[in-house]
Amino acid sequence: MRSFKKIFAVAETELRSMVRSKAFLVSVLILPIVMLVMSFAQRRLAQHADTRPRRFAVIDASGKYYDVVAEAARERNAKLDELARLKGPQSPFEPQRVELGGRPVDEVRVALSDRVRKEELFAFVEIPIHPDVEKLRYYSDHPAYEDLSSWLRASLDANIRTERYDAAHLDAQLRVALERKVDADELGLLTRGPDGRIHPAEKQDVVRAIVVPMVPVFLLFFFVVISVPQLMNSVLTEKNSRISEVLLGSLSPTELMAGKLLGSVGVSLLLGALYLTSGLTVAARMGYASAIPPSLVIWFLVFLVLAMLLYGAVSMAIGAACNDVKEAQNLMMPMMLPLMMPMFMMGAIVESPSSPLAVGMSLFPPATPLVMLLRVGLHPTPPGWQVVLSAVLTLATTALCVWAAGKVFRVGLLAQGKSASLAQMVRWVFAK
Amino acid sequence: MTNSGEAIAINGVTKWFGDYAAVNDLTLSVPRGSVYGFIGPNGSGKTTTLRMTMNIIFPDAGEIVVLGERTTKAARDRVSYLPEERGLYKKMSVRDLLRYYGRLKSVPRAQLEHAIDHWLERMQIADRAQLKIESLSKGQAQKVQFIAAVVSEPELLILDEPFSGLDPVNAEVLKDAVLALRDRGTTIVFSTHDMSTAERLCDRIFMIFRGKKVLDGTLAEIQEQYGADTIRVRTDGGPAILEGMPGVDRVVDQGNLQEVRCSGDPQLFLKALVARTTVHQFEVTRPNLHDIFVRIAQPEASS
């Protein structure tokens, strides 16, 4: 009982001092600020998009398709405002016909290339005699800008198809029937309610299927990255300022570590609650309230606690073993890897959440909290025993780390001045 | 074996740091209600002994019984420790810090608030209660550290160099507080380099040297061991006149007077001295703690 009271006293003090720190204020504000700045920047960028006319030269070997291109460009330029509403600001396309005039074609190509370089032209294109069997040749210095070339292809394609239908004497209705494409509805699974009635499958959409499960994982990652170094610093400061010696006269290192860990779990839950409340409010306003299942919110909180416990314990052990921040940061690097790994592999996990790799990563620490949180948001949801097992394994690893951190802290206290090697730390952990 | 009259019973305790025995087969008994002084040169094992008593580190051999508890952990809340190197949270207010340290000693809230007020008043820093530690002077911070150690009203108070760095006025305030605690029955163990403080305050003195106990007893008992071989003289000739005189083992120049350790007959020494110079003062006395300390530790320091 006394032990719990002491752990609670440490936790409360840790929580108070963290919440009062500038770092907490920054972590509360940073994400909303970054998001605001980003959306503002995006809007500004869109407003200032390059909408200069795209002038391009056309060498038309067929002799009949330049007019098709010119007409299509005129039609498109007339509808620019409408296009801008759908796809953002657009440039008008302005074709110019170029005649060979008896010159060798390579000479003309070189001359046009020079004009592109001088930015008199944006690109130039060669239309072959039979564009349906030969390729267009599109030359430009902007390989990433595909709007023009794909528009050219689509315009000619539509025209040539019409010619073919005309040649085959097909009437308009038949044309529509011939061009009809196969479409699909992407659905979830059907369920049968307790009353025996069958509930129809719901339509899948990207937000529900991918964005909703990914957001909590990013948030979790963010909280851990924000809170864990603070915890490491607090241990390091206590050790270096000799506060630890006073503390260890009152409670065991394991109690101290457990208290600090609980304190920082409290801080991250507080942060989590703040973000969840504002996140859910925003989602509700955008009409996505129903897309966020309450179970996901609960899982988020569960795995947030687990992640803070696990990574907090490891970082405390590192803080206890080091003498200065720089050294501790070097040791933190290998610890951040298991945190980063799920972020890099998110795509693969989202695509097949029950692959052996995803299952393995979600069951066995150190990446457990992030990967399992991602999996519980995705379909197919992991079986209950896997979720429980991952929580148990994470807790076991946490307990091990708290105990080891306490050991390292006690010995590291006396070994001031020089830092411990990894081998030394392992020896300390297993020493009496 | 364990006497309920003992605050600390150290039995055959050894602590190794690598190949070096910081404390070597130490046995010591600190009676309840006493003021016990730990002295010894730097690195002789004082702090290691205190830390082992506080359960911060563990002995490799032997046993330490604190307040009758074989596991020192059980006695934790009844023992307080003021470490030599002070540790306070700079960003915390004085009151918050004292509350925190008090709670870690399981002091009930109401009693804790009362004790904090009492001690802040007593140490003359009540007006600093709401300030952050970082804004305090060094002396004030040291007082806060002391209060943090006594706010739980411990039965055993361990102070590692409590007076170092304090000005005489603050040292006096602290000394009075220590004595008041003793009067209330608190056992006090403190380590110090200041021999005169140890002589004035301590009921018993323990000296550790190279990890081994070299002195243990009351001041009178210790002085008895070293006999009455110290002679204080004040002469016109000063320290120079004492050089090379028969029977003189060692001369400590104290400025206006000299302390002479004499192995021969003091009367013969006085006769020889009178023959050489005018003698204003001649006093056969016991060596003080400082002399005894130096006698034990000198070979080490000079080697």
CA distance A29 to chain B (A): 22
Co-location of B121 and B199 in the same domain = yes
Chain B: residue whose CA lies nearest to A241: B87
The H or E element containing residue A16 is helix A2-20
Nearest to A257 by CA among A6, A31, A89: A6
Along the 303 residues of chain B, how does pLDDT read in single tens digits? 444 588 999 999 999 887 888 899 999 999 999 999 999 888 888 888 988 888 778 889 999 998 888 765 667 888 998 887 777 888 889 999 999 999 999 899 999 999 999 999 999 999 999 999 999 988 888 899 999 999 999 999 999 888 887 888 888 888 999 999 999 999 999 898 888 888 888 999 999 998 999 889 888 888 888 777 788 899 988 888 888 888 888 888 888 888 888 877 888 888 888 988 899 999 888 888 888 888 888 765 443
Q: Is A240 within 8 Å of chain B by CB?
A: no
State how beta strands B20-31 and B212-217 pair.
unpaired
CA distance A16 to chain B (A): 10
- Cβ within 8 Å, pair A241-B101: no
DSSP tag of A415: S
Co-location of B70 and B145 in the same domain = yes
Co-location of B73 and B197 in the same domain = yes
Co-location of A208 and A169 in the same domain = no
Contact yes or no for B80/B150 (Cβ under 8 A)? yes
Co-location of B206 and B264 in the same domain = no
DSSP tag of A322: -
State how beta strands A198-199 and B61-66 pair.
unpaired
Co-location of A375 and A284 in the same domain = yes
Across the interface, of A2, A9, A243, the residue whose CB is closest to B89 is A243
Co-location of A150 and A84 in the same domain = yes
Co-location of A161 and A273 in the same domain = no
Rounded alpha-carbon distances, angstroms, from residue A228 to A86, A237, A409, B89:
44, 14, 17, 20
What's the CA gap between B136 and A142, in Å, rounded? 66
Nearest to A307 by CA among A334, A276, A339, A279: A339
- In chain A, which residues have their Cβ closer than 8 Å to the Cβ of B100? 9, 13
Question: Residue A282 contacts by C-beta under 8 Å, 6 or more apart in sequence?
Answer: none
Would residue A332 count as lying in a domain? yes
- Cβ within 8 Å, pair A245-B80: no
Co-location of B188 and B250 in the same domain = no
Question: Within B6-88, where are the H helices?
Answer: 46-53
Co-location of B212 and B237 in the same domain = no
- Cβ within 8 Å, pair A243-B87: yes
Co-location of B77 and B206 in the same domain = yes
Structural domain count of chain A: 2
The H or E element containing residue A84 is helix A80-87
Question: Residue A97 contacts by C-beta under 8 Å, 6 or more apart in sequence?
Answer: A57, A58, A60, A66, A70
Q: Looking at residue B302, what is its pLDDT?
A: 44
- In chain B, which residues have their Cβ closer than 8 Å to the Cβ of A24? none
Check which CATH number belongs to the domain holding B237 and give it: 3.30.70
Q: Does the interface ipTM go beyond 0.85?
A: no
Burial status of residue B123 (CB atoms within 10 A of its CB: 0-12, 13-18, 19 or more): buried
Co-location of A235 and A364 in the same domain = yes
Co-location of B113 and B178 in the same domain = yes
Across the interface, of B17, B56, B92, the residue whose CB is closest to A245 is B56
User: Domain ends where: B184, B205, B223?
Assistant: B223
DSSP of A260-311: HHHHHHHHHHHHHHHHHHHHHHHHHHTT-GGGS-HHHHHHHHHHHHHHHHHH
Question: Residue A201 contacts by C-beta under 8 Å, 6 or more apart in sequence?
Answer: A187, A188, A189, A190
Q: Looking at residue B1, what is its pLDDT?
A: 40
Check which CATH number belongs to the domain holding A75 and give it: 3.40.190.10
Q: Which two tokens stand for residue A197?
A: 């009635």
Q: Looking at residue A419, what is its pLDDT?
A: 61
- Cβ within 8 Å, pair A248-B56: yes
Along the 432 residues of chain A, how does pLDDT read in single tens digits? 678 889 999 999 989 888 888 878 887 888 788 888 988 888 787 777 788 899 999 999 888 899 999 999 999 999 988 888 888 788 999 999 999 888 898 999 999 999 999 999 999 999 998 888 889 999 999 888 888 999 999 999 989 888 888 888 888 888 888 888 888 888 888 888 888 899 888 777 777 778 888 888 888 888 888 888 888 888 888 887 778 888 888 888 888 888 999 998 998 888 888 888 888 888 888 777 777 888 888 888 988 998 888 888 888 888 887 878 888 888 888 878 878 888 888 888 888 888 898 898 888 878 888 888 888 888 888 888 998 999 899 889 888 887 887 787 777 666 555 566 667 777 777 765
Contact yes or no for A264/A304 (Cβ under 8 A)? no
Q: Which two tokens stand for residue B228?
A: 């009455």
Would residue A9 count as lying in a domain? no
- Cβ within 8 Å, pair A10-B104: yes
Q: Is A251 within 8 Å of chain B by CB?
A: yes
User: Domain ends where: B153, B188, B223?
Assistant: B223
Report CA Rg, chain B.
23
The amino acid that residue B176 corresponds to is D
- Cβ within 8 Å, pair B104-A251: yes
Check which CATH number belongs to the domain holding B89 and give it: 3.40.50.300
Nearest to A248 by CA among A84, A1, A10, A4: A10
The H or E element containing residue B229 is none
Q: Which domain holds residue B270?
A: 228-285
């540790």: which residue's tokens?
B87
Chain B: residue whose CA lies nearest to A5: B106
- Dihedral angle, C-alpha A106, A107, A113, A118, nearest 10 °: 180
What's the CA gap between B121 and A419, in Å, rounded? 42
State how beta strands A54-60 and B258-262 pair.
unpaired
Nearest to B189 by CA among B51, B282, B41: B51
Q: Which domain holds residue A424?
A: 204-430
Kindly provide the residue ranges of all beta strands, DSSP E only, lying in A114-157, ordered along the sequence.
123-127, 137-140
Q: pTM for the complete prediction?
A: 0.75
Co-location of B164 and B68 in the same domain = yes
User: Domain ends where: B223, B256, B276?
Assistant: B223
- Cβ within 8 Å, pair B104-A410: no
What's the CA gap between A176 and A157, in Å, rounded? 16
Give the number of other Cβ atoms within 10 Å of residue B264's Cβ.
14
Co-location of B136 and B66 in the same domain = yes
Q: Is A419 within 8 Å of chain B by CB?
A: no
What's the CA gap between A307 and A327, in Å, rounded? 23
Co-location of A132 and A262 in the same domain = no
Nearest to B159 by CA among B171, B169, B146: B146
Co-location of A82 and A222 in the same domain = no
CA distance A36 to chain B (A): 33
Q: Which two tokens stand for residue A278?
A: 């504002």
Co-location of A270 and A163 in the same domain = no
Query: Which phi and psi (to 5°) does residue A410 adopt?
Result: -60, -45
- Cβ within 8 Å, pair B56-A17: no
Q: Is A304 within 8 Å of chain B by CB?
A: no
